[in-house]
Structure 1
Amino acid sequence: MAAGGPPVLVVTRLDDVTADGVITELNRRRVPVVRLDPGDFPTAVTMNAILDGKGVVGTLSTDTRTIDLERVRAVYWRRPTPYTADLAMSEQTARWTVEEARYGLGGILAALPGAHYVNHPWRNRDAEYKPAQLATAARCGLTVPPTLITNDPGQARAFADTHRPVLYKPLRETEYADAGGRALTVWIDDVQPDQIDERVRHTAHLFQQRVAKRADVRLTAVGENLFAVQITGSPGVDWRRHYDRLTYTLISVPPEVATGVRAYLDAFGLVFGAFDFGLDQDGSWHWYECNPNGQWAWFPDHITSQITEAITDQLQHGGTS
């Protein structure tokens, strides 16, 4: 490889602006970097891995790069596309092929010896479950609003009546489209007791008491670095619906929140986390959730550049700087 030493592997899709910024900074520092999308396997990715008493050795090749598995210094795991199979295969064969790729290539990418992961894909997976997030945040001393997860419409109505005002929140940002293929988003929104009907029985639903907030806070944690951004200007409960009206201000993190956030990262084995809080009228921080692989590159440049540098430091120095 180049004079910059062992390479960084960035695992993501082609259209990932967030990863682009980190790759640009790695290039500026002359750190070798290889971009890989597992969704390109096996068409444009070739894997040769030997596992023996020495661990994992071998190569991983794309159309333009070849990387020695044992030399990868760090892995930035972002937003890869799903594994796919040849369209000519039968449904059962295609399903088998995709799972073999997931457990073969995916298993190798998760077992690179000596690599520093931001974050390890299995840690991301474990930290995506909202019930585990809520329980862990409470154990770490963070203030969690009263929350109900249920498929019982009677209990949901009673909770909404007792804790009003109450929000409905999806348990996961699952891709959803209408009959015409148009992508849809299930937003966080207010819900009244009389809006809750028997359809709640069809699956799990999350209801949470709405914080009387004066602002939102997105706290991006990168190792020991905490970047808290106060978000104001949203006329509704879900600020993601009003990007054109938002104002962003870097603010300090209260010591008790910083302690809780770092304990939370340790509990899940995360290096990176995008935390959402509500800031109430008294200035108290109320924890909502943590996306272990959240976005951050839409912030103004003076904020984005600091997060980019912190992530690049992790990848370049393996979390030791």
Structure 2
Amino acid sequence: MSDPRPVLVVTSLYDPTADVVISELHDRDIPVVRLDSGDFPASLSVEAEITPQGIQGRLLTPSRTADLAHVRALYYRRPSGFAFPHLSEQDARFAVTQARYGLGGVLAALPGCLYVNHPHRIGDAEFKPAGLAAAVEAGFLVPPTLITSSPDAARAFVKRHDSVIYKPLSNPVYLIDDVSSVVKVAEVGAEDIDESVAGTAHLFQQRVPKSADVRVTVIGSKMFCVRIDSDLLDWRTDYSRLRYTPVEPPPRIEPALHHYMRHFGLVFGAFDFCIDEDGQWWFLECNPSGQWYWLEPETGLPMRAALADLLERKT
């Protein structure tokens, strides 16, 4: 008899990556309950009790019900935020915090559930300074990096290194003429540093002369390494100019990846590296909720099956 425990998929309405994973699970007759925490409480409700056996109760969507005590796995992708536009600013702020610590707290404490990834671990791993420090500890090569709000420190760092790039520490979407935009990675010189640096925190990093980039997607015990060739500073700015080749990592990379994953308690991670002119791999970042599916049709790597295996708990 098949295991009736469902997989919860927590994400926004539009998420093509989640769509293909759900399709794969359906093909395996694995029950799935998809929900967006941002739909709470309008079309998502929770009934949870704290018992000696842990959290008991259910989540209800318009079409599905999940028994909180018998969730097989939770795939946490990119849900939308809680919103209460019908309330005053003060009441909405109160309602959002109650939803976050109530529904969010329930989703983070499901008994016997495999999290891919646990939302709290995602939050920890999204801090770039913590990620870079963990990468050094794991044994990766990490470019010299400065996080600062001091214009003088930024200028000194730029002058000390031959070539420096600026990266946002996080990348919220800006609407420019109603078009979604983000702050891009860019090379900077000392003359580009002005007093506006003092307005918030900034990340500056020595630019590594590179021959290619690599995306490493870690899914449980499996890893998929894809070399990305282009002439771009940041390959994510133009996917039409990219060429993909599956590759094997250097020997020291695999144990460092596992070390990094254990440090943050992750079972999924999308790692970005650049390869220098001598073939050395340099760690750039790890996105604990990163995109990955677009690489499968480009390379034939069985990434969807690996993630479904993980959520099914076959591995």
TM-score by length of 2: 0.97
Are residues 305 and 25 of structure 1, via their aligned partners in 2, closer, same or farther at CA, if it must alter by over 3 Å? farther
Aligned counterpart for 2:213 among listed residues 198, 213, 216: 216
Counterpart of 2:185? Answer: 188
The yes-or-no answer on 1:297 pairing with 2:293 is yes
Contact 1:149 1:204 in 2 (8 A): yes
Letter aligned with residue 298 of structure 1: W
Contact 1:147 1:207 in 2 (8 A): yes
Letter aligned with residue 100 of structure 1: Q
* Secondary structure of 2:9's aligned partner: strand
The yes-or-no answer on 1:313 pairing with 2:309 is yes
The yes-or-no answer on 1:78 pairing with 2:74 is no
Letter aligned with residue 311 of structure 2: L
Letter aligned with residue 31 of structure 1: I
Cα deviation for residue 3 of structure 1 reads 4.3
Letter aligned with residue 35 of structure 1: R
Cα deviation for residue 29 of structure 1 reads 0.7
* Secondary structure of 2:258's aligned partner: helix
In structure 2, C-alpha distance between the alignment counterparts of 1:77 and 1:274, rounded to whole Å: 14
Contact 1:144 1:287 in 2 (8 A): yes
RMSD across aligned C-alpha pairs, in angstroms?
A: 1.3
Contact 2:11 2:76 in 1 (8 A): yes
Letter aligned with residue 138 of structure 1: V
How many residues in Structure 1 have an aligned counterpart in Structure 2?
A: 315
What is the percentage of aligned positions where both structures have the same residue?
Answer: 50
In structure 2, C-alpha distance between the alignment counterparts of 1:310 and 1:88, rounded to whole Å: 42
Cα deviation for residue 4 of structure 1 reads 4.2
The yes-or-no answer on 1:242 pairing with 2:264 is no
Counterpart of 2:156? Answer: 158
Letter aligned with residue 12 of structure 1: T
Q: Aligned runs of 1:82-101 on 2, under 5 Å? A: 82-85=81-84, 87-101=85-99
* Secondary structure of 1:255's aligned partner: coil
- 1:112-144 residue CA offsets vs partner (Å, 9 max, x unmatched): 100000000000000000110111000000000
Contact 1:152 1:201 in 2 (8 A): yes
Counterpart of 1:281? Answer: 277
- 1:9-28 residue CA offsets vs partner (Å, 9 max, x unmatched): 00011100011111011011
Contact 1:45 1:62 in 2 (8 A): yes
Letter aligned with residue 273 of structure 2: F
Letter aligned with residue 25 of structure 1: E
In structure 1, C-alpha distance between the alignment counterparts of 2:135 and 2:150, rounded to whole Å: 25
* Secondary structure of 2:292's aligned partner: coil
Cα deviation for residue 214 of structure 1 reads 0.4
Cα deviation for residue 303 of structure 1 reads 3.9
Contact 1:4 1:30 in 2 (8 A): no
Cα deviation for residue 304 of structure 1 reads 6.5
- 1:224-246 residue CA offsets vs partner (Å, 9 max, x unmatched): 1111110002x321111121110
Cα deviation for residue 175 of structure 1 reads 2.1
Contact 2:46 2:60 in 1 (8 A): yes
* Secondary structure of 1:156's aligned partner: helix
Q: Aligned runs of 1:113-192 on 2, under 5 Å? A: 113-178=111-176, 180-192=177-189
TM-score by length of 1: 0.95
Contact 1:137 1:144 in 2 (8 A): yes
Are residues 20 and 304 of structure 1, via their aligned partners in 2, closer, same or farther at CA, if it must alter by over 3 Å? farther
Contact 2:213 2:227 in 1 (8 A): yes
In structure 1, C-alpha distance between the alignment counterparts of 2:246 and 2:214, rounded to whole Å: 9
Counterpart of 1:201? Answer: 198
Counterpart of 1:51? Answer: 50
Contact 2:244 2:298 in 1 (8 A): no
Counterpart of 2:247? Answer: 251
Letter aligned with residue 40 of structure 1: D
Cα deviation for residue 53 of structure 1 reads 1.4
Contact 1:218 1:274 in 2 (8 A): yes
* Secondary structure of 2:66's aligned partner: strand
Cα deviation for residue 183 of structure 1 reads 2.1
Q: Which runs of 5+ in 2 are unaligned?
A: none
